[in-house]
Structure 1
Amino acid sequence: MVKLPPPIWALIYVVVTLALSWLLGWPVVPGLPLPVLGIALTFLAWVLPVWAAIRFRRAGTEINPTSPTNRALVVDGPYRVTRNPMYLGLVLTTLGIAIWIGAWPMFLAPVAVFLTANFVHIPFEEAKMRRQFDGAFDDYVRQVRRWV
């Protein structure tokens, strides 16, 4: 599961929940869809991952979580608030899509993205960062929460 990039997992979950919603006849959550709110959240959710990617580029390190080594431990920008702004952005993007569409099966996508990130990708990355950056990473973990 770790070898497949997290955005691909998010896309898979959205496609699967779209198919499930279609098969179930688009069962809408009362009070939804809220297209304007959903679209706004979907696009605003990209601020964190783009900002994080810019910070990685400026630090001269790679975004690919399965790369053998990272050149720098990035702890500024969005990383002052959350250790995982890219994953948070994916969760918020899929939540925005769910609110936009309004069918209850769509809300399984952000849950699946969160669970996959929290229990598969993040532990793998944290173990790698701990090996590479030793005490500096442990200090960072004590200062900044995994999500928010």
Structure 2
Amino acid sequence: MTLTARLDSRWGRAYFGAQAAAGALWWAAVALSPGIRMLTLGDLPAGLVAAVDIPLFVIASALAALGVRFAAEVTASWTVLITAAMALYSTVTTSAGWGSLLMIAASVCSVGAVLLVRLNRIPSEWLLIGPFRAREATSARPRTQLLRTAGQIVVFWGVCLVVVPAGIALVELRWGLRMPFPPAVTITGVVLLAAASALGIWSAVTMAGRGDGTPLPVATARLLVVGGPYRFVRNPMAVAGIAQGMAVGLICGSWLVVIYALCGSLVWNDLIRPWEERDLVARFGAPYEAYRDRVSCWIPRRPRRRSSGSVSDPLVY
């Protein structure tokens, strides 16, 4: 069971309680330590900011923790607003970068918490709408599916492994958050990127060539593929993508890009994977369930042997 499957409104209220306490402690630290004030507020007038932030962030979070629903919406809205303002301030002035980073984390968590309070769950299906809506690929020759997959790889890798990391690295530098890595880390990143990219290409070619579709949910394979790298791990494309993201972070010396890749793994594992597995069960039934029970989700390893009388592997090897 994934983490999000166990979350409900109680966790949302608990988060707001923790946020209220953390906010109060932070304001106390700002008042007592000039260093913390400069790292998180820069030259902003602390008294003026506190006059607005304490009621809308600290007190509203405490009220949300006590079950006042509108307070959850107030504090989440304020957190997102102040995050945008802090990010702009840090980008222009190159100061208070740590404050902006903390507010980004608070915004993400506050939005998640208010969804839990209001809906009693995280609506992961919202990630799979519009152009990202999952649908089965149209049947085509393997060569056509390979060309479609190649196009997906160019776009997906270009955005997720070049454009987004470059933006994060530039922000990290501009906000004064850069922490240089030793040369050995860069070399490790190059080796990891090469290995992960090879795994990603192998997985994509296997899916397109044998599954009559592509690896992405927007044109998902029509046949269940359990051969190639899928013999050793159920989601080799996800494993490869996360490893690639971490490798890019190591190569460009950006710890925030590494965090970005790890956060991507959490989003995929807790929000995308449950939907994907329900879809596979609905389309392939017992053969997929037998495969799921024998092959690891994350850690590549030799698959467990089928028990006597179990359903045989389906369709494509």
TM-score w.r.t. length of structure 2? 0.42
Residue 86 of structure 1 corresponds to: 237
Matched, 1:14 2:170: no
Q: After the TM superposition, list the runs of 4 or more consecutive aligned residues in structure 1 that deviate by more than 3 angstroms.
A: 4-13, 29-33
Structure 1 contact 42–92 (Cα < 8 Å) conserved: yes
Matched, 1:72 2:223: yes
| CA drift at 1:62 | 1.0
Provide, for residues 7-61 of structure 1, a one-character-per-residue CA deviation record: whole Å limited to 9, x for no partner: 3773465245323312233522664672222122112211112111121222142
In the TM superposition, 1:1-148 aligns within 5 A as 1-2=127-128, 3=132, 7=156, 10-11=160-161, 13-25=164-176, 27-28=178-179, 31=182, 34-63=185-214, 64-67=216-219, 70-148=221-299
Aligned CA distance change for structure 1 residues 124 and 32 (closer, same or farther; 3 Å): farther
Structure 2 contact 203–229 (Cα < 8 Å) conserved: yes
Q: Which consecutive residues of structure 2, in runs of 5 or more, have no partner in the other structure?
A: 1-126, 134-151, 300-317
User: How many residue pairs get matched?
Assistant: 147
CA distance in 2, matches of 1:50, 1:83: 15
Structure 1 contact 81–144 (Cα < 8 Å) conserved: yes
Q: What is the aligned-residue identity percentage? A: 23
Write the letter of the residue equivalent to 2:185.
L
- Structure holding more helix per residue: 2
CA distance in 2, matches of 1:132, 1:70: 11
Q: Which consecutive residues of structure 1, in runs of 5 or more, have no partner in the other structure?
A: none
TM-score w.r.t. length of structure 1? 0.83
Q: What do you get for the CA RMSD once the two structures are aligned?
A: 2.6
User: Which range moves more in the overlay, 3-12 or 69-78?
Assistant: 3-12
Structure 1 contact 33–99 (Cα < 8 Å) conserved: no
CA distance in 1, matches of 2:181, 2:205: 39
